[in-house]
Structure 1
């Protein structure tokens, strides 16, 4: 296990260029988790049978003892630490800073430098932190409407809504330059590019690379209806998109030559669309489908895994029951997978998404999202936003 963790950590660290926890700390955490799980399995033979059958559901009763939760106050208190099965949320020493509007997007370029996009009915603001979210500086957005917020190691970019696609960039979140020039001709992606929808849409929109204020379609469009574009490059430098094909259903595509060619992997027999999450050489595809009712959370239909960077995938395993998912799947350094469901519960899987166990004692959280330097948790106990480098240790942001 230490060798596996070290290789995963090194791959992510080289790409993100941020400090990672010492290997000894991670290995100790993983060993402790294994001991607790072994003890739980020893005293719960009935549960072991259910896991083998692959029918453990987050929504059903979990026969194991509830995970230990340690807290110094109620879940909405401005301090304390909450922990369950290796997932920890750290509170704040005081109430969060009251920023204008409500938080719509959060991005972190590294563990210290982060940005928030907040908005009310008529105005949008950008807030920047240089100390991991403890203090914030706020300025009005240089673009009208509700732009998309994109952070890379050397700059923050705002991409205006279609059809104008006006762009603005800054190195500190306070001083901005704008660009309203049309998209350039198709060009190869670079290490600084971010994949975006060319016309601001979602499913079916052309895919482009955004580098600073330069916006250009990829050299060749992925051969599928793209509904999701990875916010970061994989550890091996590849680019990922997901969606569906007309004849084979959910599918992902990867480019290893900066958008010149794309390799498609389809998962026929399932409804919905596909998207991916990457950690080191591991790639995990989630197949999701919308609920029939309006505004209902997405259904998690199946999960497929690859251990070789997406060159090959195992079969897509259907997720038992009516599981839902809020945002992105998070691969953890100890080999587990983490999601929040559409109702705010934290769930983990030890079998690559076949079965999920609900964690008790953590803040309800409605969405997890990948950013350049880690992950963001939205609507934590309604009012909080939190950030994590590795998906296991979360820190509430001092902003509301």
Structure 2
């Protein structure tokens, strides 16, 4: 009898028992496990990305600490945001630079007039002996954009012209021949003198240019009627040799002139178109003298200078110019030797002037002493009063001009 094979039977029993055991064990839900595994992998990726971003931000702040103010370079502007122009400033005087396209005008800007902060006009001439025509440009947005119109051919190569700007776009250009425009300078015609009539509100005084080769103070004073516009003829100034006439009346309707008579420096005002005058004698003058007056409220300033601008003395008034008191016995301390243009009284009580050395100067004591404002302010050729504010000429010494409504904040005109 053959011997039984126990190992084979044991293997069969073990295999059968293993099968039964696996059948009794409940299998896990594989679909749920796979879903959880996918979600876990997504969370891992997000956590890794967030950590990398945090590290990048931290490294950026270490390199460019904008929030700390240590780096003068700001972050780049948002797309579509206009880039501001450069700003030049010192001593509370600010000149805002160009921030848009510039218009080229033939010749050089010699006269700028603003009738309000938006509407302005300028005159350009060929001052270098060229033969370009004189031109007038106009703006209706405070000097951001300009339109240019050439004056009649007879002005080609002419210099010594003057610009008068009135409300409603009425203009006049004076010279050997006077030209007038009633549409903001778009069209021009020869203007003539009108028949003298009694002064009316709105009439303005104007210093007639001296004859070619004559003294700077030889010209007379005329009165203009804006509604034409037309020259109504000369005004009797009581024997004063007038070297300066204000470009605008004061708030109380006074027009100021300045000059000399019988060796005395004289400032005079009229409120009736030159029919009567109120005079203030400001002391002796050595030869012809230029007397300039500036009024802001009840504060008034006067300066006596030689025709070349050499400063002799400053005066101050607390009653709008009815009476003047000398500030010093001679030229101010720290100021320019020679004055370039008009006085500019500021709203904070200071006085601003420009010197022929192309610098800005401010005084906090009514003209007794001055401090030169420099820092980033550009060179300036001179300051002038206009109907609605002030104009700075020859900025940067190369023909630019700027406008200010208050004398403190200036806007560079986008034209040259």
Calculate the TM-score normalised by the size of structure 1: 0.73
Matched with 1:104 is 110
Alignment counterpart, residue 301 of structure 1, candidates 296, 301, 312:
312
Describe the shift of the 1:210–1:230 C-alpha distance in structure 2 as closer, same or farther (beyond 3 A): same
For residues 101 and 71 of structure 1, the distance between their equivalents in structure 2, rounded to whole angstroms, comes to 38
For residues 215 and 79 of structure 1, the distance between their equivalents in structure 2, rounded to whole angstroms, comes to 42
Describe the shift of the 1:189–1:351 C-alpha distance in structure 2 as closer, same or farther (beyond 3 A): farther
1:114-129 correspondence runs (5 A)? 114-120=120-126, 121-122=130-131, 123-129=133-139
Q: Give 1:230 deviation, angstroms.
A: 0.8
Q: Does 1:139 align with 2:139?
A: no
For residues 199 and 188 of structure 1, the distance between their equivalents in structure 2, rounded to whole angstroms, comes to 23
Q: Does 1:370 align with 2:390?
A: no
Q: Give 1:267 deviation, angstroms.
A: 1.3
Asked if the contact 1:209/1:218 (under 8 Å) is kept, the reply is yes
Alignment counterpart, residue 161 of structure 1, candidates 175, 195, 208:
175
Question: What is the RMSD of the two structures over their aligned residues, measured on CA atoms?
Answer: 2.4
Matched with 1:287 is 304
Describe the shift of the 1:192–1:200 C-alpha distance in structure 2 as closer, same or farther (beyond 3 A): farther
Gaps of at least 5 residues in structure 2 are 1-71, 75-83
Matched with 1:246 is 262
Q: Does 1:236 align with 2:236?
A: no
SS at 1:325 equivalent: coil
Matched with 2:44 is none
SS at 1:342 equivalent: coil
Asked if the contact 2:163/2:174 (under 8 Å) is kept, the reply is no
Alignment counterpart, residue 197 of structure 1, candidates 175, 187, 207:
207
Matched with 1:80 is 86
Describe the shift of the 1:198–1:386 C-alpha distance in structure 2 as closer, same or farther (beyond 3 A): closer
Calculate the TM-score normalised by the size of structure 2: 0.70
Q: Does 1:343 align with 2:353?
A: no
SS at 1:311 equivalent: coil
Q: RCO (CA 8 Å, sep 6+): is it higher in 1 or 2?
A: 1
Q: Give 1:172 deviation, angstroms.
A: 2.1
For residues 160 and 320 of structure 1, the distance between their equivalents in structure 2, rounded to whole angstroms, comes to 36
For residues 178 and 167 of structure 1, the distance between their equivalents in structure 2, rounded to whole angstroms, comes to 4
Q: Give 1:150 deviation, angstroms.
A: 1.1
Q: Give 1:222 deviation, angstroms.
A: 3.6
1:207-356 correspondence runs (5 A)? 207-212=221-226, 213-217=229-233, 220-247=236-263, 249-271=264-286, 272-291=289-308, 298-317=309-328, 318-320=330-332, 323-356=337-370
For residues 270 and 370 of structure 1, the distance between their equivalents in structure 2, rounded to whole angstroms, comes to 24
Greater C-alpha radius of gyration:
2
Deviations for 1:139-171, whole angstroms, at most 9, x for unmatched residues?
111462343111122234223314x4x231233
Deviations for 1:296-341, whole angstroms, at most 9, x for unmatched residues?
xx21221111121211111252223662211111000111000111
Q: Give 1:104 deviation, angstroms.
A: 1.4
Describe the shift of the 1:306–1:223 C-alpha distance in structure 2 as closer, same or farther (beyond 3 A): farther
Describe the shift of the 1:118–1:198 C-alpha distance in structure 2 as closer, same or farther (beyond 3 A): closer
For residues 198 and 89 of structure 1, the distance between their equivalents in structure 2, rounded to whole angstroms, comes to 32
Describe the shift of the 1:172–1:219 C-alpha distance in structure 2 as closer, same or farther (beyond 3 A): closer
Deviations for 1:199-224, whole angstroms, at most 9, x for unmatched residues?
65551333111113321236643441
Deviations for 1:258-307, whole angstroms, at most 9, x for unmatched residues?
3211111111134433121121222211111145xxxxxx2122111112
Asked if the contact 1:235/1:281 (under 8 Å) is kept, the reply is no
For residues 399 and 221 of structure 1, the distance between their equivalents in structure 2, rounded to whole angstroms, comes to 38
